[in-house]
Amino acid sequence: MEYKLQFFSAILLTAFITSCKAKQSSVVEEDAKLVQVSNEYSFTEGPASDKFGNVYFTDQPNDKIVKWNAVDNSLSVFKEPAGRANGLYFDHNDKLLAAADENNELWRIDSNGNIDTLITTFKGKKLNGPNDIWVDLNGGIYFTDPYYQREYWSRTSADIKEKNVYYISPDLEQVSIVAEGLTQPNGIIGTPDGKTLYVADNGDKKTYSFSIQKNGKLNNRKLFTAMGSDGMTIDDQGNIYLTGEGVTILNENGEQIHHIPVDEKWTANVTFGGENQDILFITAMGSIYTLKMNVKGVRY
């Protein structure tokens, strides 16, 4: 009897381990390999996918926004100079929002490269340096505003001492602080249903979740994971993708379900692209990478 119990216990344990491994690897397509598309840049950041699955990303030191073509895997410069843009995100009209770090502005760029400057100051004070962006279901814009001293700035200190998360109303008429008390808010992403916002406080190595209210305000702040992140994205299953040491994937409960190693000193950002939104696009140091996934990104 004892032998039979040990035998069945071993079977159950093997089945459990196999099930866990299958669950862990199910987000990535079987046998998919991380592909380095290019390593010709200085520091890549801010990937954002348009409605066709093309991904735009920044090479901040070289002051460029570059376009990756989802059909033929080609690369071309979309805008140069580009306001030292960092984070990017497309709005509902398929215009590119850019955290233009050079003069601490938030830009909206049309397909021809024409710029509308949406914000530069808050209550008469210069922003710290908009970093990452997310657009809600109504078209309102959330952005993080940490302070990272840039060599191309003439100033050496922030006008606004606090590092906040801001919200621009859908009509672009109102700007408000929606999250404060953070060390260095960085990555930001919301859920497909528009109910939850995730904000990474990379300076404190934590990521928080917030409930989104109808007016764009946030409440119900909770610790999602004791891990920070540079950039972030989300898939159609609600899994959250954090960056830094490669890409770490957590489910909606904050449990790690997968890790994608990237052979670079730092992995800055991540998004989904491709015609079917099933290509994970990763920016890391001077390189960009792609990986075929079983899950998909989210486009409104």
Which pTM value belongs to this model? 0.91
170 CA to centre of own chain: 21
What CA–CA distance (Å, rounded) separates 217 from 24? 34
Sheet of 55-59: strands edge to edge? 44-49, 55-59, 64-68, 75-79
What CA–CA distance (Å, rounded) separates 41 from 271? 18
Per-position pLDDT tens, the chain of length 300: 444 444 444 444 443 333 344 444 589 999 999 999 999 999 999 999 999 999 999 999 999 999 999 999 999 999 999 999 999 999 999 999 999 999 999 999 999 999 999 999 999 999 999 999 999 999 999 999 999 999 898 899 999 999 999 999 999 999 999 999 999 999 999 999 999 999 999 999 999 999 999 999 999 999 999 999 999 999 999 999 999 999 999 999 999 999 999 999 999 999 999 999 999 999 999 999 999 999 999 876
What CA–CA distance (Å, rounded) separates 201 from 246? 17
Task: List, in order, residues 6 or more apart from 211 with CB less than 8 Å away.
Answer: 195, 196, 218, 219, 220
pLDDT of residue 17: 39
Q: Label residues 56-70 b or e (16+ Cβ within 10 Å = b).
A: bbbbbebbbbbbbeb
pLDDT of residue 18: 38
Fill in the amino acid letter for 250. L
> Domain 32-292 belongs to what architecture?
6 Propeller (2.120)
Instruction: Locate the domains of the chain by residue range.
Output: 32-292
